[in-house]
Structure 1
Amino acid sequence: MRNKLYISFIFVVFFPVLTVGGYLTNELRQSALEDTKEEALTNMERVKERTLAVMNVPLYVSNNLLYDLHLKNVVNTKYQTRYEVVKSYREFDSFQEYRKLYKDEISNIKFYMENETLLNNWEIIPADKMILNSKWYKAAIAGKGLVRWIYMDDETKKQQKYLSLVRQINFFDLDTSGVLVINVNINRFNLILSQESQPIMIVDDLDHIISTNQPEYFGKKLTDIIHFEQLRESKTGMFEGDVEGESTQIFVDTISTENSLNDIRIVSIISDESIVGNANKVRNMGLSVIGVSMFFALLLIYYISKLLSNRLIILSDQIKQVGNRNFNTRISIDGKDEIGQLSKQLDFMVNNTRNLLNEVYETNRQKTLLERKQNEIKFKMMASQINPHFLFNTLESIRMKAHLNGEKEISQVVKLLGKLMRNSIEVGTGKVTLGNELNVVQSYLQIQKFRYGDRLTYELMIDPLSKTVLIPPLIIQPIVENAVIHGLENSRSGGHVCVETKAIEGGILVHITDNGVGINEEKQEAISKMLHEQNQHDEERIGLKNVHQRLQLTFGEKTGLSIDSKLNTGTKISFVIPLEEGRKDVKGHDC
């Protein structure tokens, strides 16, 4: 009920107010954007005209120097002495005159020429190998006399960077050429931009910031400040982008000069916050009024809904406790109306459920106790099933060996037999490590080896990581005993028994293999059927059945014995011990 009142409030009051407020705020923002756009375009046009006027000066000077015969004679003469070079330089003053005349627009003028007789006076510079291989020099040569604007270091000004006009000057009648470099006075650009209120930059075609009225942008590239794909594509116009994590309006325009291979761009950035500042103030004031009104309205709705829904909330909390399996909860709501009647019926249902669960719990407890006792009896019977015939033959063999060979070997066999007997008697219902179980198996096989001599051979191929796995006791030994008695004892030539463990995905695989008489298909089907029956009517196979059932009781229905046998070939009995997740697989090798 309370939620319905809240939802009604949201749809009737909250959404309409937000819709109207959002519409008005958006209109104010759009109006501010249009005004700012017009102002920004006007400012950029003014900056563009003043910047172009500065750039036209070095362009005009370069056009004059194309036809300067004095420059042509100075740089193409093959001098015999340094005195001749110095004298020629003193008579050539064109660069100095241009710098004096246009000191506000031009910072420096240099000419690079491949003439080994020239001297470097920071105006006329012999082009050595390093200069010839520089990018800007190659770009000038590739321009074939056209102008290229490059933001480059000036070695005559302590490697300070300047926007430079770079141009090849050809002397066609002499079949020679040189490169003219005229540095634009950056201070002039800085003065122009400093008169603008919004952040503005002059940028070359490689995104180097040549000049700006923002000190923190000096030495950076445009892409370090503005993250916007269109800027890399040298597009012009108005865009929305991200500048230092803040939404910003970006204005881009180009400055093109005559006979130029590339353009210079003007970029102005205005944050959305500064554009819509007044609109945001109105919005914030409106949101404050709306927030106060909605608070009082919500408070009123809260108290009204509390009077109506308090009993339902208490009932809901009690039902949640029952849902969390707390059946001792008492559901009690005063009153004789529908809510009171509902609480009484729910309390009656909870009491019945609690009694039923207690009965089921007691029944399952008794059933589990009975099964455990039965399994303990079966396990004790399994542990005590030592074949008297086996004990008789073993003792007789010990006697014969003692008579023929002395006492050392007898002592070892007696020790193994005592170990095997002690392990069988002391076994309980807990789990043992696979390594301990294999020690019992090895003791048993050594005793049988003593009995049969060369007629019996055996092999244990154990994955070291499997030794610490916990399994029920007397799982592998009965299977090995079954292999020796039923598989090899009746074979005149004897045989071989192999016990192998290896890690596979999700568990440990155990193989017990013999090359004895084997089992025909009909008998093999009978044994498989017997393993899955509940009644133990075949006493001859009670060992295999007990092992099979204990594996399934311990590890689940997916485990248990798997028998693969062929008559006169041998028998392989396998089972899988599941492992917890996280163990690495270790590849074993077959017997």
Structure 2
Amino acid sequence: MKHYKKGSGIQRRYLKYTAALLGAALLLSSVGVAFSVRSTLTRSIVDKYEFMTERMGITLENMFRKSDETTAECILYDDVQQSLRKSGLEEVNKNALSKYFAYIDLDHVADYCYVDNKGNVYSRSYSNVSYDDVKKSGFQKYLEGDYSRTKWFWAKDSLFGTDNYALFIGRYVRSLDYAHEPGMMFFKMEEGFLNEITGISPELEEEASVGIIDEAGQLCLSAAPDDFGEKENVPDYIIERLAEVQGEGMVLEGEKIKGGVLSVYHDTDSGLSVFSFVPNRILNQGLIPVFVVLGTIYLVVIAVAVILSIYFSRRFTRPIQTIKEAMTEFDGQNFDKTIELHTNTELDEIGRSYNKMLGNINRLLDEIKEQERELRTTELNMLISQINPHFLYNTLDTIYMLARINKEETTMRMIQALSKYLRLSLSKGNDIVTVEDELENVKSYMEIQQIRNQDLFSYEIDCQVDAANTHVLKLILQPLVENAVKYGFQDIFSGGRIVIRIRREEGALCLSVSNNGTPIEQSMMEKINEMNHLPVTELKNCFPDKKRGYGVVNILTRLRLKYGCGAAFYCQAEQNGTTCTIKIPEEAREKSNEKNGERK
């Protein structure tokens, strides 16, 4: 059970990432589908109600035109024209005229009233409307401003005494022959009159709000679902928008407002506007079946994806589990337990590499064992060879004492200088020495050379650092002095001069050796200076014959291995002689000293 949990880590992570990727894909696709479907459904529903609103507006215009034609026929009726003359109508004609308005070609007339210019009222017999009632109703104000034009207005029924709001059709009645005061006719319309305008199917009325408002924003007719709560705000919004949008016809086409989408058709003749308002609930309800279908599809996709993911994850992680078990159970001794994989994937290469690694480790262990045997032999030889330096020092001391007895001063000086040189060169096996010891070493070498080449050169040492507490790589000055003697003074027999300077400059320790002999060749100088840009592995190839430049290669190689790429070696040919400079960055030198346990 323990091994299974460890081995299933990759599988669990694979399943987790697969689930996350699948979930993101399904989420993005559902959002995209929902947006696309909602946009399409919204446009379809809005188009349907725009068409319905336009149809209601056209019906409104036709009904107004019908009412205008009907009232015009009433004005042209003989008894109506006769009632406007001074003589007026006989009583019989008055009764006939009152009944005439009951049979005009206009449907849904609930009541009517005609008042001539002499104050006579013609209405239904049971209406009992008097001239005072007409004046008190205030309906005349709706006709003012127009000579003789049909007017529709929504008002409280103060004329016929019902006190209910209704749609009225009114018009001035003027004489065609004489200039008299006009009469007035008013028709009170039944609710069914407006219902003919908004005559839509019941299922559409259940979806949205439709209605008619007048120019004052009064809601003349409204049909809306029971749960519709925004219809009170729609008329106010329509009035505000009508003030901004001039004209007639479809003034608002599917305009997005709070809670839904609004369409408005305005008729300037009647002063009424019909509207349809589709709430967001209707716009969104079409998404429900889409999401049901999508949810079903997604559940099937998720189920299939989970099954396939588990199957493939087990198939691919089983070889990894095999590799893992082989590596964790390897005890470092049994190199014969290899693995065989046949997956036709990169895992086969990993298995072969693991088997190859076991073979390499086995071979390396054999080599290490052989090296350990050789190391023991070498250590024994080193113990034996340690006798040789002591024997050499003791022999030199004996020769020195014999030279002293015989008073051979030159021999004494040379033996003493050689002894110092050997001691400092060996320096107990350390490769880092103080500047003081390095200077003692090179002075011993120069004293030997001065004895060998009498009067050939003199030397000067200018040390501007604390020599006893500054550490450098050993044996880096002696090869430069040797080159100065060997190549710089090859054309002179006396008067040579060597100057050794040690100083700090621009964050680096600088060691330079100058001579006044023959300047270094230009090609050699350029070749040496270019070596600073080469990797360490290529330095030995700069002077393959080792006749010239071997000491320089040795110095630069040791410097780069000890201090890194920051260490550099330069040669500069001058008018009289050559200057060789070694630069060691302080930071690199300090790090190297810390590794060697040196205290600055």
Sort the TM-score into its range (normalised by shorter chain): 0.3 to 0.5
Name the larger-Rg structure. Answer: 2
**Normalising to structure 1: TM-score of the pair?**
0.39
**Normalising to structure 2: TM-score of the pair?**
0.38
